[in-house]
Each structure stands twice: as structure tokens, then as C-alpha cells.
């Protein structure tokens, strides 16, 4: 193991050690939640796992989650989200009411990701696991914008952008996960936000982080875990890979889209406005 991966391993394990021993894991099958699982196993823990999939849409990431659980004899709860317009509208309303109470800005990605965290947290609480970890925001924000900045402005500006993303994490969609999980009875930890780990991540350039493969530093840091199965995955958005974006977009063809909007966020707001009017009328 090279020295940089060795340090990453140590800091990742230290970050997970900050969570209680009974901490469960919201697992997507992606690199970040998989890395947290690897650190938990290195500590001798056997966490309760929970994942989700949309009815009729078993993503490749979910299949990997199942294989991970089987390989290490871990309990895995899988939530199947039904394809029901009534259920979808009720969920959107529930989330938007929560956001309104918390002063959280409405946003398409934020609402769709919150849908996933809602069902995962509810299932964990139901099986008696009220403390969990999730894999956001990963070792870095690894997206197209970073690479555009990297190629146009160089490594230093890319590192500054990564720091801006980390500094603003708790005001982002994934930062909202903590409040959503708490509402449904689960205290959520995000080990990747452990400052020694984030400081170290920001000291590394993108080439070092992604040497070999995307987020290859995690592969090098926990070889005993990643070599157990063919589990390496490219980055994918929670709501996209899980089918939630496509599912929510069905609202565009529903009776709720009275203005024939092409984007779903105005439809969410229209659903919420109707509900507020209905409640005011009933009162």
C-alpha cells in the first residue's frame, strides 16, 4: 500500500471510529458508502445496512449492495418504493412541509434525495437502528464542473472549488440528509466530513485521488474489501441511479401540471400551494 493510501485508510477508520459502535449504514453500492463499510469492517463492526430501489428498477448499485451484504454476512433491509402517483404526491408534500418548517430551500435534487433518505430512515427506525452513517459528500465533489475548472484554470482553482463545496456542504442537498433523517427518527453521521479527512483530501490533487480508477485511493487503501468482489462503481447521483428522477418526472404528465411546465420543480410548488389552500379552506 502506498503512503498516501495508507494515510487515507487511517483517517477514514478514525472518522468511522467517531460514530457509535451500533451505527448502521445507508448503502448505495457506490464507492463512498462502500468505503465507509470497508472501514467499519476493518474495525470489526457488523453494521445494519439499508438500501432502496424503485419498484421495477433494480439498479446495478443496489445489486452490488446485496452482494456486499451477502459477502460479509450483514443484515440488509431493502426498501421498495412503489410506483404510485398518490404515494409520490404525499411524499413530496411531506418533504416540502418539513423543509418549510426547517427553513430549507425547495430544490428538485434536494426533494428527490430527501425522498430516498425518508424511506431509508423510516425503515432503519422500524428495525430499531436509530443511528446511521451515509457516504456523502465523498472524499471530494467529483463532477463535470470540477474537471472543467481543472482543465481551464488548473489544480489550485479546482482545489479551491472543492473546498467551497465542502464548506457549503451542510447547506447543500446532502447536508439536508441529517435533518431529514432526524425527522424520521435516525441520527445521521457523515464520516467524510470528519475534518482531518477533509483536510487530507483537499491536500491531494485530483490525479492522486483518481489514480488507477476514479477514487482509486479508496481501492488502494482497502484492498482486502474491494478485492472481495467486483464492486468498483463510477460516480452516480443517488436520485438518478435509483430511478427517482425519472419517477418524479411522471408528475409532468399528471393533472398536477396545470401550466404544462417542462421542469418538475414548479409542479412541486403547485402541489404544495394547493395543499396550503386546502388546509386554509378546511380551517
- The CATH code of the domain that includes 128 is 3.40.50.620
SS3 assignment, position 263? coil
Burial of 93 (0-12, 13-18, 19+ CB in 10 A): middle
According to DSSP, the residues that pair with 54 across neighbouring strands are 57, 81
Q: Answer yes or no: are the C-beta atoms of 110 and 82 closer than 8 Å.
A: no
In 3D space, the residue among 68, 11, 35, 64 whose CA is nearest the CA of residue 216 turns out to be 35
Q: For cell 401550466, what's the residue?
A: 259
How many domains in the chain?
1
Domain extent for 246: 3-282
Least confident residue range of 87-91, 145-149, 207-211: 145-149
**Is the pTM here over 0.75, yes or no?**
yes
In 3D space, the residue among 95, 101, 23 whose CA is nearest the CA of residue 271 turns out to be 95
pLDDT, tens only, 92-135: 999 999 999 999 988 999 999 999 999 999 999 999 999 999 99
SS3 assignment, position 188? strand
Q: For cell 503512503, what's the residue?
A: 3
pLDDT at residue number 140:
61
Amino acid at each position: 500500500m502506498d503512503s498516501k493510501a495508507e494515510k487515507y485508510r487511517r483517517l477514514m477508520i478514525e472518522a468511522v471510529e467517531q460514530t457509535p459502535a451500533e451505527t448502521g449504514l445507508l448503502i448505495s453500492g457506490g464507492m463512498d458508502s462502500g468505503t465507509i463499510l470497508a472501514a467499519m469492517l476493518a474495525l470489526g463492526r457488523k453494521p445494519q445496512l439499508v438500501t432502496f430501489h424503485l419498484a421495477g428498477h433494480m439498479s446495478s448499485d443496489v445489486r452490488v449492495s446485496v452482494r456486499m451484504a451477502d459477502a460479509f454476512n450483514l443484515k440488509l433491509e431493502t426498501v421498495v418504493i412503489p410506483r404510485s402517483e398518490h404515494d409520490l404526491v404525499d411524499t413530496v408534500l411531506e418533504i416540502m412541509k418539513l423543509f418549510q418548517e426547517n427553513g430549507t430551500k425547495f430544490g428538485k435534487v434536494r426533494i428527490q434525495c430527501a425522498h430516498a433518505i425518508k424511506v431509508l430512515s423510516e425503515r432503519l427506525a422500524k428495525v430499531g437502528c436509530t443511528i446511521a452513517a451515509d457516504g456523502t459528500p465523498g472524499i471530494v465533489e467529483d463532477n463535470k464542473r470540477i474537471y472543467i475548472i481543472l482543465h481551464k484554470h488548473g489544480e489550485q482553482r479546482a482545489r479551491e472549488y472543492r473546498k467551497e463545496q465542502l464548506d457549503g456542504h451542510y447547506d447543500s442537498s446532502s447536508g439536508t440528509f441529517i435533518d431529514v433523517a432526524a425527522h424520521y427518527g435516525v441520527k445521521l453521521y457523515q464520516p467524510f466530513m470528519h475534518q482531518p479527512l477533509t483536510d487530507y483530501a483537499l491536500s491531494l490533487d485530483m490525479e492522486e485521488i483518481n489514480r488507477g480508477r476514479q477514487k482509486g485511493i479508496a481501492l488502494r487503501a482497502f484492498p482486502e474489501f474491494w478485492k472481495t468482489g467486483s464492486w468498483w462503481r463510477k460516480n452516480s447521483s443517488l436520485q438518478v441511479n435509483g430511478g427517482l428522477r425519472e419517477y418524479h418526472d411522471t408528475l409532468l404528465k399528471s393533472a398536477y401540471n396545470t401550466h404544462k411546465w417542462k421542469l418538475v420543480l414548479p409542479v412541486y410548488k403547485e402541489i404544495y400551494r394547493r395543499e396550503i389552500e386546502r388546509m386554509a379552506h378546511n380551517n
